[in-house]
Amino acid sequence: MNKREFLKKGAIAFIPAAAVFQVLMRQAEAGAAGAAGTAGSPTPGYEPRDHWYGMGIEVEKCIGCNRCAEACKAENDVPPEPFFFRTWVERYTVKQSGETEVECISVDPRGERKTQDEREVLRSFFVPKLCNHCAHAPCVQVCPVGATFTTADGVVLVDSTRCIGCRYCIQACPYGARFFNHRTNTADKCTFCYHRVIKGLLPACVEVCPTQARVFGDLRSKASRLVRFQRMNKINVLKPALNTEPKVYYAQLDGEVR
Amino acid sequence: MIAQVPSNLTELLRQIIGYIYPNEIEIHWSILIVVYPYLTGLVAGAFILASLVKVFNVKEVQPAYRLALLTALSFLLVAPFPLLLHLGHMERSFEIFLAPHLSSAMAMFGFVYAWYLMGILLLEIWFEYRRDLVVWGREHQPPLSWIYRALSLFSTDISEQAVAFDRKAVRMITIVGIPSAFLLHGYVGFIFGSIKANPWWSSVLMPIVFLMSAIVSGIALVLFLYMVITSMRNEPLDMKCLDKVASYLFYAVVVDFSLEALDFIHRLYQSEESVKILAQLISEKLFTNLVILQVLLGMLVPLAVLVAARTRRANPDLRKLLYFTSAILIQLGIFSTRWNVVIGGQLFSKSFRGLMAYKMEMTGLEGLATSLGLLIAPFVILFVLVRLLPAKRTGEAPVHPA
């Protein structure tokens, strides 16, 4: 076989092989997305590439009721212990002295509720926290087997069927958003309720928030609530200096919040 | 499946100082991950010491050359086990070789390790021992002779020409081996140093500090083993070799100490956002391990001892004692260094507002018992290797006393 013949035959074999490969890749992608969500398939015609999800949080609207953290635990079967959270709420108390006290209102190991002397308090507020679904996510970068990945619609997920449990991603997350799930022996974190979102539903925490402090939306759709939220508010993200490009956007975020 | 939540986590909630993110209560990288860089450090250090003989023709270190190579091999064989035992899914560990995620520093582990083990260390040992293996294969009775023949890969040629080729090969491999040893341990440092989320780890100096402390620990280990093994065999210690190795140890400790001091001063002077919590970390959690064990007992005292051994014109027996003491103290110090990096880096919250606690398991898979087992295992392997592959060359005159 001379070179010309080889190339011809190669091309004939290559084109169908490439087509098969493409179909397989698509199936694999769909499979990975399916494995990451707990249940269900997307709405017919759902095209991940058309979306780019994020969340807005209006700090002043949060009343610290903790419904979001509870709904998240119920919806996603998060371990019940008070140190495994996909989302949690922090209470900040900045005192007259300049000292800042923070507590996670979901964690209450001693069963006691702290009250502050009003005269000492300069300002106080609640900050809901969750995975920031960073566009430039350090957890995705460091995963040695690619089990943590970003979906085409911008959600950072963990494929628990591939995660080897090395916990490098937990170390790499600057926000403490990840934990180790001892049921699956893999890394775990907020999925933006991906299984709901692809069906056109809202994440559980957004759904239950009584004051609409959380706004979920698609940054690619000009009509989305999130884009409107970004238009109407001064926006900040957590730890911007780390260049992780978070997609959880905070309005009225205090400088004390880390 | 019922969740196997570590029972002590609830207890640890009470030991938090200040505020931590709720998910941070668990210390994810346990003592096993302290053992891992300690082991690879010993490998890299021992290999670099061995390389001095071949590349820079340091004749004095020749008596410890083979021992250094076998030490490196014994420790390298055990090095992946702490990592493996630590994984949530050990059965998926091969994924790191088959489907590595190329942007991950950790994914390179398989390649770096395999290259160093098979491309460098085994190859160098084979060429170094090939002639002797052939000779031993002829001298010994079966089944030992079979083992030697198999180890020599059934080569039989011990002509001058073949042996000259072996020597050349060893030299070439060593030349490639030095940067590879640097890579092996520098890379372990990079795994930590590249985590920008953690200010205790995130430092461009990390790979270099890891490397220098690796050299320190490796040299100290070979010094220790050379003294122990030679004494156990009732053979005289080669004082020229000891003095030379000890002097390398001295310089390595000086460089290592300077680098760590630079890192410390740099952080203090830059005084970034994290400086307060790191200061609190040192004073409240790491004072004994960092200030007393790592710096004072692990560095300054051995430095003083080594200086004393050099300047006071101490007699050989006293010198031996001083070298031996400093080698042990240095091991202690380097282990503390690894502890302070790995565990220390996980004892403060990334909110920079609080400190966590680490309670080491005793008997669990990630506990003290496993770690001790993993630290002892290389010595067992080394014991077998030294028996099987004696340091003395065939047809070589016995070592002269100093």
Kindly report, residue by residue over B153-191, the tens digit of the pLDDT: 998 888 889 999 999 999 999 999 888 888 888 889 999
**Contact at CB, A242 and B1, closer than 8 angstroms:** no
pLDDT of residue A38: 45
Q: Residue B99: list chain A partners with CB under 8 A.
A: 145-146
Q: For residue B268, how far is the Cα from the chain centroid?
A: 28
Cα gap B109→B79, rounded to integer Å: 11
Half-sphere exposure of residue B181: CA atoms within 13 angstroms, side-chain side: 31
Q: Is 60 exceeded by the pLDDT of residue B305?
A: yes
**Contact at CB, B19 and A163, closer than 8 angstroms:** no
pLDDT of residue A163: 96
Give the alpha-carbon dihedral of B212, B218, B221, B223, to 10 degrees.
-90
Alpha-carbon Rg for chain B in angstroms? 23
Q: Is 50 exceeded by the pLDDT of residue B278?
A: yes
Nearest CB partner across the interface for A83, out of B1, B25, B349: B25
Nearest CB partner across the interface for B22, out of A83, A144, A170: A83
pLDDT of residue B398: 47
How close is the nearest chain B Cα to the Cα of A250, in Å?
17
- Contacts of residue B73, defined as CB under 8 A and 6 or more positions apart, other chains included, come to B121, B122, B125, B381, B385
Cα gap A29→A42, rounded to integer Å: 13
Q: Is 70 exceeded by the pLDDT of residue B281?
A: yes
Tens of pLDDT, residue by residue, chain A (258 residues): 676 776 666 666 666 666 666 666 666 655 555 444 445 678 888 999 999 999 999 999 999 999 999 999 999 999 988 889 999 999 999 999 999 999 998 655 555 666 778 889 999 999 999 999 999 999 999 999 999 999 999 999 999 999 999 999 999 999 999 999 999 999 999 999 999 999 999 999 999 999 999 999 999 999 999 999 999 999 999 999 999 999 999 999 999 999
Averaged pLDDT for residues B1-26: 82
Round the average pLDDT of chain B to a whole number and report it: 90
Q: Is 60 exceeded by the pLDDT of residue B340?
A: yes
- Contacts of residue B37, defined as CB under 8 A and 6 or more positions apart, other chains included, come to B185, B188, B189, B210, B338, B341, B342
Nearest CB partner across the interface for A144, out of B2, B26, B101: B101
Cα gap A193→A37, rounded to integer Å: 8
pLDDT of residue B1: 40
- Contacts of residue A194, defined as CB under 8 A and 6 or more positions apart, other chains included, come to A33, A36, A37, A151, A155, A157
pLDDT of residue B402: 37
Cα gap B171→B165, rounded to integer Å: 10
pLDDT of residue B401: 41
**Contact at CB, B23 and A163, closer than 8 angstroms:** no
Q: Residue A110: list chain B partners with CB under 8 A.
A: 14
pLDDT of residue A204: 97
pLDDT class of B312 with cuts at 50, 70, 90: low
**Contact at CB, A141 and B197, closer than 8 angstroms:** no
**Contact at CB, B351 and A110, closer than 8 angstroms:** no
pLDDT of residue A12: 65
Q: Which residues pair with A93 in a beta bridge?
A: A101, A124
- Paired tokens of A30: 């769909």
- Entry pTM: 0.88
pLDDT digits (tens, 9 = 90+) for B233-251: 888 888 888 999 999 999 9
Q: Residue B188: list chain A partners with CB under 8 A.
A: none
pLDDT of residue A37: 44
Do B391 and B62 touch, CB atoms closer than 8 A?
A: no
Averaged pLDDT for residues B119-143: 90
pLDDT of residue B142: 86
Q: Strand A53-58 to strand A248-251: parallel, antiparallel, or no bridges (unpaired)?
A: parallel
How close is the nearest chain B Cα to the Cα of A98, in Å?
14
